[in-house]
């Protein structure tokens, strides 16, 4: 098998894929459309404030460590991770708050504050989440689901663990208090899932957070992206920015190479796409070369919601604030129905507020703080005109924060700007502007998600949020591990290279 491999996209999935392919001896070129690596994890700078654009909650840090270990390196020589406590503070509209923390005694006390009877239910819930994790994560997160038989193999476990039921339904069996039910079900929103529809298997996120904790990278998530790109440079991966791929050339059902927007053609029989599979199939591959993934079948799938993210810097600090706050609005299920199903922009909202300067003050000028505020909104199937609604929506959010959570915000704003679903659709090239690719539902998970190895084009592989296991950093980093199972290793004189040989090759 050829040694050359091309990776389309430098999101976390693409960077991890490049590392894994390189460690197996491939000559790797990453082609990234944008001017920065990181994809959703790119950074913005304004008026001396640093903003991570996307992921901020770092879980399962071992998945990063592994990428450095592939080359005998220590991740701590590249970037530092620090634990965040509380993991999140959940604030309710009536002013009550819940600190979601990692140690039992403090967590039980938080639960008892809301409903003492739910402490016992929580103990059973957490045990259930551990059992789901043992199957859904330990056994399946980096499994190859190319064949229907791979799916059938897990059905008995799913049934036994009731992991096919909705996450909310599963949690509600153990927890009676309505506010606590929200505390233990909002997590899938960070990977594009509606808690009322996402299968109970996603309860594993709770155990994952308890097991490895919630971390933050000093310098922001950008520091992780920089650490990974430095590593890739050291081991000879070629990263090309502002190199959008316009077409994947297919001959007789085989990938032959990619055509760049500037007309350059790069030959390769192994192409790993970190770009959204729905966009790759519909925009980069000739319809004649696709049997399974027609435009119509791709249009029938259900795509995750999108996001509105406001970034702002203040010349004032808010020392009482937690690093991660979930600011819940008055409605839960109704709001989610507006976003996922009715696809309307509601008057009320629930927000995630990121205050990284609580952990790393260097991300803002002295005496100031840098923030982002995220609101799940309908994807582009809504028809909302964001050029009109975007600025209004930002104003409404800033007003609500000023009135309820960040007093004096308006008077102390130094900079503010926002991104909306048009950013996900345009700059990040995501189908329907979905922030997390395909919506994680039972019928779009594992075998039923886009496959890591294309069924239509031999030599084409996928990593990232659109494929198994799905969105979120643990998901996309694990998707790159699936490559080890599906991409043939390059052979040298009939044998597979050893790791030291591969790196020096």
Ligand X SMILES: Cc1cc2nc3c(=O)[nH]c(=O)nc-3n(C[C@H](O)[C@H](O)[C@H](O)COP(=O)(O)OP(=O)(O)OC[C@H]3O[C@@H](n4cnc5c(N)ncnc54)[C@H](O)[C@@H]3O)c2cc1C
Q: How far is the CB of 363 from ligand X (least distance, A)?
A: 16
C-beta of residue 397 within 8 angstroms of C-beta of residue 406: no
Give CA–CA dist 61/69, Å, rounded: 13
Closest CB to ligand X among 112 and 241? 241
DSSP string covering 191-223: GT--TTTSBGGGGHHHHHHHHH--EEETT-HHH
Helix/strand/coil (H, E, C) string of 91-104?
Answer: ECCCCCEEEECCCH
Q: How far is the CB of 502 from ligand X (least distance, A)?
A: 23
Calculate the alpha carbon distances from 444 to 51, 70, 107, 436 in Å.
32, 31, 33, 13
In this structure, how many other beta carbons lie within 10 angstroms of the beta carbon of residue 324? 23
Q: What DSSP character marks residue 168?
A: H
Give CA–CA dist 225/364, Å, rounded: 19
Token couple for 392: 């209004």
Closest CB to ligand X among 422 and 492? 422
Token couple for 328: 């819940």
Closest CB to ligand X among 350 and 412? 350
Q: How far is the CB of 244 from ligand X (least distance, A)?
A: 4
Closest CB to ligand X among 409 and 435? 435
Calculate the alpha carbon distances from 490 to 4, 103, 252, 458, 494 in Å.
9, 46, 22, 16, 9
Helix (H, G, I), strand (E, B) or coil at 37: coil
Respond yes or no on whether the N-terminal peptide bond of residue 15 is cis (omega within 30° of 0). Answer: no
Q: How far is the CB of 23 from ligand X (least distance, A)?
A: 18
Angle at 440 between CA 339 and CA 323, to 5 degrees: 70
Q: How far is the CB of 57 from ligand X (least distance, A)?
A: 3
Give CA–CA dist 12/26, Å, rounded: 19
Q: How far is the CB of 336 from ligand X (least distance, A)?
A: 17
Q: What DSSP character marks residue 302?
A: P
C-beta of residue 99 within 8 angstroms of C-beta of residue 106: yes
Token couple for 18: 């490049």
Give CA–CA dist 351/406, Å, rounded: 13
Closest CB to ligand X among 322 and 497? 322
Binding site for ligand X (CB under 6 A): 8-14, 31-34, 39-41, 54-57, 190, 244-245, 274-275, 307, 309, 374, 428-429, 435-436, 464-465, 471-473, 476
Q: How far is the CB of 181 from ligand X (least distance, A)?
A: 22
Closest CB to ligand X among 199 and 437? 437
Closest CB to ligand X among 274 and 350? 274
C-beta of residue 398 within 8 angstroms of C-beta of residue 352: no
Q: How far is the CB of 73 from ligand X (least distance, A)?
A: 21
Closest CB to ligand X among 375 and 415? 375
Q: How far is the CB of 10 from ligand X (least distance, A)?
A: 5
Closest CB to ligand X among 114 and 393? 393
Closest CB to ligand X among 55 and 356? 55
Give CA–CA dist 183/177, Å, rounded: 10
Q: How far is the CB of 13 from ligand X (least distance, A)?
A: 3
């Amino acid at each position: 098998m050829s040694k050359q491999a091309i990776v389309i996209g430098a999101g976390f999935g693409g960077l991890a894929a490049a590392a894994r392919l390189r460690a197996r001896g491939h000559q790797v070129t990453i082609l990234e459309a944008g001017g920065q690596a990181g994809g959703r994890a790119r950074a913005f700078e304004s008026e001396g404030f640093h903003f991570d654009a996307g992921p901020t909650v770092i879980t399962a840090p071992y998945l990063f460590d592994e990428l450095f270990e592939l080359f005998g390196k220590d991740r701590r020589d590249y970037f530092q991770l620090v634990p965040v406590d509380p993991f999140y503070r959940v604030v309710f509209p009536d002013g009550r708050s819940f600190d979601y923390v990692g140690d039992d005694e403090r967590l039980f006390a938080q639960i008892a504050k809301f409903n003492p009877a739910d402490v016992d239910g929580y103990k059973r819930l957490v045990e259930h989440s551990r059992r789901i994790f043992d199957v859904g994560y330990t056994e399946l997160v980096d499994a190859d689901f190319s064949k229907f038989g791979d799916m059938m193999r897990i059905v008995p476990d799913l049934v036994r663990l009731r992991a096919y039921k909705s996450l909310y339904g599963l949690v509600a069996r153990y927890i009676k208090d309505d506010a606590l039910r929200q505390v233990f079900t909002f997590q899938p929103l960070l990977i594009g899932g509606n808690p009322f529809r996402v299968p109970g298997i996603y309860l594993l996120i709770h155990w994952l957070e308890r097991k490895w904790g919630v971390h933050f990278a000093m310098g922001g998530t950008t520091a992780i992206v920089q650490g990974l790109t430095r590593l890739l440079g050291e081991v000879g991966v070629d990263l090309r920015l502002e190199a959008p791929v316009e077409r994947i050339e297919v001959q007789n059902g085989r990938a032959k190479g990619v055509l760049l927007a500037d007309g350059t053609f790069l030959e390769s029989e192994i192409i790993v796409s970190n770009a959204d599979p729905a966009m790759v199939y519909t925009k980069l591959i000739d319809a004649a070369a696709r049997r399974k993934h027609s435009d119509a079948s791709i249009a029938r799938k259900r795509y995750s919601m999108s996001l509105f993210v406001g970034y702002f810097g203040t010349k004032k600090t808010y020392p009482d604030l937690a690093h991660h706050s979930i600011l819940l609005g008055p409605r839960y299920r109704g709001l989610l129905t507006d976003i996922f199903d009715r696809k309307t922009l509601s008057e009320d909202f629930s927000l995630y507020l990121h205050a990284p300067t609580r952990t790393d003050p260097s991300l803002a000028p002295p005496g100031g703080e840098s923030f982002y505020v995220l609101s799940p909104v309908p994807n582009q199937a809504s028809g909302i005109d964001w050029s009109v609604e975007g600025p209004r929506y930002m104003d409404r959010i800033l007003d609500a924060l000023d009135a309820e959570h960040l007093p004096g915000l308006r008077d102390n704003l130094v900079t503010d700007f926002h991104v909306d679903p048009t950013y996900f659709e345009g700059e990040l090239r995501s189908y329907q502007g979905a922030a997390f690719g395909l919506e994680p539902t039972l019928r779009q998970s594992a075998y039923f998600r886009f496959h890591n190895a294309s069924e239509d084009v031999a030599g084409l592989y996928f990593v990232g949020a659109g494929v198994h296991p799905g969105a979120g950093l643990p998901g996309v980093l694990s998707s790159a591990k699936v490559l080890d199972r599906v991409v043939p290793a390059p052979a040298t004189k009939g044998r597979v290279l050893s790791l030291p040989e591969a790196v020096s090759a």
